[in-house]
A and B are shown apart, each in its own frame.
Chain A
């Protein structure tokens, strides 16, 4: 291979270092107006009336739009359940929910007017805690349940979705109770993982306009084709007349999955007939989407020799006011919580609860970090109690290549014992430096999502080639990696290939840019498209002909040859998941005994990616994801004070800063070409994050003598833990 496997420079690098890369926020369209959102200051209330008079009187205001003013349009969106109104209609379900949209000639006028929208509410009882929401007598957020769309093939449990139960997953195998009764050691504990905010630095924004009977939207969406479906339904347009264009995106990490502000901008354009931009602030973005916090009750049963006999997980997720993507997170949390181990008996019950809080949806890791915290800490705790080394305990139980961890699913396409060896060697396990603790862990995520991906390759008369794909460039480097695959397949230099991406009016269908899928699945559809194009060249001009010659021979002058390729759930992609994304990460940490402050001094990761088409980009994903894990481990958490968020800003919600980065970083690549993607590649981008929370907690536990059970490990929490007299729980 010539180009694949090389750390070629990013194709978007020059545009990004010069400030010329265009993000949705940088675009303007002629005649553009500005939308600003008036938001609920109640957690749960009935809207009695909305007075827009003062707002309408502000100079420059064109329209003040409320949910009630838009009947008969059905404003609700959602790819699993269409329950999320773009503007509240008769009730608000959380503090910060959009109630009205002001459209004005300037952003300043729109924002000033939005503050003058006056709403008369009748307060209703609110429920702020997920366990309480599922209990008797809690106020019910969605008394009239809307049927699920048939979109996602979810693994559902048998529980009826009533009360505040948003989603449930319930499965298992073996006799868990008998295993618990017969075990030499049973560990039981309750663990808590915080609700997080992705803080993609470009806040949610979109520009919408209606042009010649089509709705055109520029947006920050990770999944433009999903947004297209929501918009088509709201405005009763055919998919062919909704065009969602996604230029460069200033960070995604899952937080820009699915529909956010696009319906608001489109409603503004629908009512005013003018193009409308809706650009949220960071605080408003926090009020738009967060991740699901989780309370995890876990039991693990072991034999004296360390054999993991049974696991029993009972999880409640705090999923906020609307369904959004929480049912999928729920299903994934269930699949990922018990770990890549051989376990004779498993029982998993995950319940996602509606609460009167900001709606929760996807975030990097997607259920995995929440469950992994409990699962991996119990492995460490069991090792201590059984007098077995924590690495040896994992090696004894971890699955071997090809083994299933979920009955009927694809076997593990990775070598986990080898990954654990690489990791623990890097960390110097078990010999921690004086006063330090080592923590490490492993995870396996059923990644790739539903495998639907279409690519189109165009061979041009001058011997160059371009490909149109629907994958969005979020910073992960998709345009670079796909350029490499295109160049490799056609035998062209990088200078002669180009990727055109993410415009539903131009590029072919791509289900999502998430679940670490782009390299593997879009890559394979692109390879199929290249093969199709080459087949056409051979048909026109014979085997081995240059495609430029074939184009000239067929058309005379100009012209092009087009190849298409698709990946669908068929053939080698039939068995789910398309691939497993492995997490294998560890830390060396220190604790300041006086303050409880945790300092992570070393971070090691193993990227089990099958084949690194661009090693520098894989390193970037592995370090970036693990750093987000450090944020959740040490400082990040959204905190509710009563019915309002206490810290909806980047000062009080503290993400990792430059000085937080460990002095020693070791990003190891494991390349065994055992993936379904091009050249044996698998996905990267989430795996290294998933075990970091448990790893930091284990390192801290080994220093202070007691394993923490709740993140983030703030100085106060660690200091209190260190003061506790109890022996290990």
Chain B
């Protein structure tokens, strides 16, 4: 199995890594202790492994690690690096938008990416954006509420 040397930025830190060409981004992150992104469907439909790649939400389960070369990846672990929770995280707590929590990191990253591209989404736009993220516990309504609450917080 061949390997490639890549230069990438993971949660703000530039790194040079030797990665197996078949390695998945999700395994690369989790093998480095960044276990916030979760494996579940492994076919890019559940959203539990969502991270931001150059700001865009991607499923780490179907992204190759070599694709990181020259790019920047952000995971849920980085959101409170400054010591404060991100407004999306705060809103998830306030609106009881989680139960088992397994989908939560992916939901938070997906919501953050939405609010970065569309800071004041409508309820329908939030619903549409979250269509690619499954939550089996909550019934979604609290999650949609949390994203709208976060939008208000970030505008304030």
B41 with A649: CB separation less than 8 A? yes
A17 with B108: CB separation less than 8 A? yes
Q: What number of residue pairs across chains A and B have CB atoms under 8 A from each other?
A: 158
A620 with B96: CB separation less than 8 A? yes
B37 at the interface (CB under 8 A from A): yes
How far does the Cβ of A194 sit from chain B's closest Cβ, in whole Å?
A: 17
How far does the Cβ of A436 sit from chain B's closest Cβ, in whole Å?
A: 20
B134 with A661: CB separation less than 8 A? no
How far does the Cβ of A63 sit from chain B's closest Cβ, in whole Å?
A: 23
How far does the Cβ of B24 sit from chain A's closest Cβ, in whole Å?
A: 10
Chain A at the B interface: mostly helix, strand, loop or mixed? loop
Which residues of A in the span 9-35 have a Cβ within 8 Å of any Cβ on B? Answer: 9-10, 12-23, 25-26
A586 at the interface (CB under 8 A from B): no
Which of A16, A651, A659 makes the CB contact (< 8 A) with B45?
A: A651
B53 at the interface (CB under 8 A from A): no
Stretch at the interface among A131-139, A248-256, A408-416: A248-256
Stretch at the interface among A76-84, A381-389, A473-481, A668-676: A473-481
Stretch at the interface among B2-10, B71-79, B114-122: B71-79
A17 with B92: CB separation less than 8 A? yes
A251 with B96: CB separation less than 8 A? no
Give the nearest-CB partner of A282 in chain B.
B41
Which residues of B in the span 93-116 have a Cβ within 8 Å of any Cβ on A? Answer: 93, 96, 98-105, 108
Which of B85, B130, B139 makes the CB contact (< 8 A) with A17?
A: B85
How far does the Cβ of A96 sit from chain B's closest Cβ, in whole Å?
A: 17
Taken together as a complex, chains A and B put the C-alpha atoms of A665 and B143 apart, in Å, by 14
A199 at the interface (CB under 8 A from B): yes
A658 with B101: CB separation less than 8 A? no
A203 at the interface (CB under 8 A from B): yes
B100 with A475: CB separation less than 8 A? yes
Instruction: Classify chain B: how many residues form its interface, as a range.
Output: 35 or more
How far does the Cβ of B30 sit from chain A's closest Cβ, in whole Å?
A: 8
A403 at the interface (CB under 8 A from B): no
Known: A18-B85, A201-B38. A624 touches B138 (CB 8 A): yes
Could you say which residues of chain B place their CB within 8 Å of the CB of A202? 38, 40, 100, 102
A17 with B133: CB separation less than 8 A? no
Which of B38, B48, B98, B141 makes the CB contact (< 8 A) with A661?
A: B141
Taken together as a complex, chains A and B put the C-alpha atoms of A664 and B108 apart, in Å, by 24
A617 at the interface (CB under 8 A from B): yes
A639 at the interface (CB under 8 A from B): no
B38 with A476: CB separation less than 8 A? no
A623 at the interface (CB under 8 A from B): yes
- In the A-B complex, the 10 residue pairs with the closest CB atoms: A19-B36, A475-B100, A250-B102, A16-B101, A475-B99, A19-B76, A627-B139, A623-B139, A26-B35, A17-B89
A-B contacts, 26 of them at CB < 8 A, read A16-B104, A17-B89, A17-B105, A18-B36, A18-B80, A19-B35, A19-B36, A19-B76, A19-B105, A201-B134, A202-B40, A202-B102, A250-B40, A475-B98, A475-B99, A475-B100, A624-B136, A624-B137, A650-B46, A655-B134, A655-B136, A657-B131, A657-B134, A658-B143, A658-B144, A665-B139
Given contacts A13-B93, A15-B101, 7 further A-B contacts (CB under 8 A): A10-B98, A12-B101, A16-B104, A18-B77, A250-B101, A282-B41, A650-B45
